[in-house]
Amino acid sequence: MKIKAARFLLPIAFATLAWPQLPKIKPGFNLFSKQQDIQLGREAAAEIRKKVKIVHNRDLENYVRGIGQKLAAQPEAGDYPYSFEVVDDKSINAFALPGGPTFVYTGLLLAAEDDAQVAGVLAHEIAHVALRHGTNQASKANLIQLPAMIAGGLLGGGSMLGQLARLGIGLGANSVLLKFSRTAESQADQLGAEIMAGAGYNPIELARFFEKLEAQTGKGSALSQFLSDHPNPGNRVQAVENVIRFLPKRQYITQTSDLVKMQAIIRGLPAAAAAPSNASKENGLSRANSVEAPTLPPATSFREYRGQKFTISYPSNWQAYGDSQSNMVTLAPEQGLVQGAIGYGAIVSYYLPGSNGVDLKRDTRALVSELESKNHGMRVANASRRFTAGGVPGLLTELTSESPYANETEVDLLITVARPEGLFYVVLVVPRSQYRNSQPVFQRMLESVRFS
């Protein structure tokens, strides 16, 4: 009996040694590839350097880079080519671009009390990069035109930033690449705390520094942009304390002497020149509206596109812009793409709302809401009704919006089907003047849909 009891006690003893696991946060819905994040970040960083004064002081550069690289070396930071630069500006600000370029303002370094608070800000920004929050928000901001640009390879040649500017996605004060939601902030706090702890910094200093800045909001405008881009998700101290409960106990770095030296260097820098007056303007361009809608010949034959999870037929005089290994494709005649915008054709993709499971009505409403809020002038023309695509029940929602063609209104037919991998959707895009003639083509395309 003693031997049997020992055998039963052994697993229990081991169980008490197991450390509780912190729920893992994964990047959300994204139409961009990781390499496109990196390319976009490099282009955007080059533009940023033209608009701000970068500090070229070896000690200051080494200080920020040293903390940043220690944080970036943690596995939670992902495999991105992070870089860290100091901007000579009294504003309390810091931001990271997709793919890793990170900028911290001298005003923020002066406001910090110790190295851990500097590390907290950098870890928080690194978390935004690792979770791909910038391109996640850009993806949700334009679910109609962006898939066409990506699938068509239009973001792969020339300037990605320039192509995105056509959709109003630039680097201005309200850019979706840099302005985060409270949910994104909460996620960056959690992952940032994990990154800090792994690098040897006390994670609680992340929350304390942000709350210190929140308390100073009424003392001037130096904080306005930073806090606008980083809205308070709630009680940061309590939330980070909850994260710390899941982390192994360790001794943290308490050094402050290096920061004091850096602050002295900053105070001795020559006064920064005023930023260009247009530095904060959006570098967006309006949609093309000077091109007349083409008269397209009727489709006489169809071909099949095989995606990873679906197949669909489309007119043989159209082109398929996409990768068969992905779940996204744009199908359109050559004349249907107008300077990166789709004016006539179809977009096939998946929408991942981020909740558990897929619910057709709920997630269709969420997708429609995203489309209406992120695409100028788009609205529901006819409420959702039952529809069958490829023999599977779904919903059809008719929307209207501005057309890239001159003097045209656009009809956008949204078909949604609940699938295990997400909400499958097709957007059929057509100028109002050609809507009736296009119905037989669209009907045949939808009847051809098959799921694997």
Confidence of residue 24 (pLDDT cuts 50, 70, 90): confident
Identify the residue with better confidence: 68 or 6: 68
Token pair for 336: 């249907």
Alpha carbon 399 to chain centroid, angstroms: 25
Residue 5 has pLDDT above 50, yes or no: no
| 302-451 CATH fold | Protein Transport Mog1p; Chain A (3.40.1000)
Q: Which pLDDT belongs to residue 369?
A: 87
HEC string for 33-74: CHHHHHHHHHHHHHHHHHHCCECCCHHHHHHHHHHHHHHHCC
Among 341, 337, 346, which residue's Cα sits nearest to residue 286?
Answer: 341
DSSP three-state, residue 427: strand
User: If you average pLDDT over residues 310-324, what whole number do you get?
Assistant: 84
Select the highest-mean-pLDDT range: 14-28, 243-257, 348-362.
348-362
Ramachandran class of 125: left when φ > 0, alpha when ψ lies in -120 to 50, beta otherwise: alpha
Identify the residue with better confidence: 39 or 155: 39
Between strands 101-105 and 83-87, the pairing is parallel
Say how far apart CA 360 and CA 428 lie, in whole Å: 19
Say how far apart CA 163 and CA 340 lie, in whole Å: 7
Q: Is residue 95 within 8 Å of residue 102, measured between CB atoms?
A: yes
404-424, pLDDT tens digit by residue?
A: 888 889 999 999 999 988 899
Alpha carbon 297 to chain centroid, angstroms: 39
User: If you average pLDDT over residues 220-244, what whole number do you get?
Assistant: 68
User: If you average pLDDT over residues 312-316, what whole number do you get?
Assistant: 93
SS3 content of the chain, % helix, strand, coil (to 5): 40, 20, 40
Token pair for 144: 């109609």
323-377, pLDDT tens digit by residue?
A: 666 677 888 888 887 765 788 999 888 887 665 678 999 999 988 988 887 676 8
Contacts 24+ apart (CB under 8 A), 237-242: 237/204, 237/207, 237/208, 237/211, 239/186, 239/189, 239/190, 239/207, 240/189, 240/190, 240/193, 240/203, 240/204, 240/206, 240/207, 241/204, 241/207
Whose structure tokens read 């035109």?
145
Say how far apart CA 104 and CA 88 lie, in whole Å: 9
User: If you average pLDDT over residues 276-303, what whole number do you get?
Assistant: 56
Q: Which pLDDT belongs to residue 10?
A: 32
Q: Which pLDDT belongs to residue 166?
A: 64
Lowest mean pLDDT among 285-289, 298-302, 356-360: 285-289
Q: Which pLDDT belongs to residue 8?
A: 32
The average confidence (pLDDT) of the chain is 80
Any idea what DSSP says for residue 294? P
Beta-strand runs (E) in 352-421? 379-389, 392-402, 409-419
pTM of the model: 0.65
Say how far apart CA 417 and CA 112 lie, in whole Å: 50
Among 451, 423, 425, which residue's Cα sits nearest to residue 360?
Answer: 423
Q: Is residue 171 within 8 Å of residue 48, measured between CB atoms?
A: yes
Q: Which pLDDT belongs to residue 269?
A: 85
CB-based contacts of 420, cutoff 8 Å, min separation 6: 358
Q: What are the structural domain ranges in the chain? A: 34-267, 302-451
Q: Is residue 289 within 8 Å of residue 405, measured between CB atoms?
A: yes
Radius of gyration of the chain (CA): 26
Q: Which pLDDT belongs to residue 420?
A: 87
Q: Is residue 295 within 8 Å of residue 438, measured between CB atoms?
A: no
Residue 16 has pLDDT above 50, yes or no: no
Q: Is residue 405 within 8 Å of residue 343, measured between CB atoms?
A: yes
Q: Which pLDDT belongs to residue 17?
A: 40
DSSP three-state, residue 144: coil
Whose structure tokens read 């911290």?
104
Identify the residue with better confidence: 388 or 21: 388
Q: Which pLDDT belongs to residue 339?
A: 61
Q: Which pLDDT belongs to residue 260?
A: 86
Residue 275 has pLDDT above 50, yes or no: no
Longest dimension (CA), the chain: 90
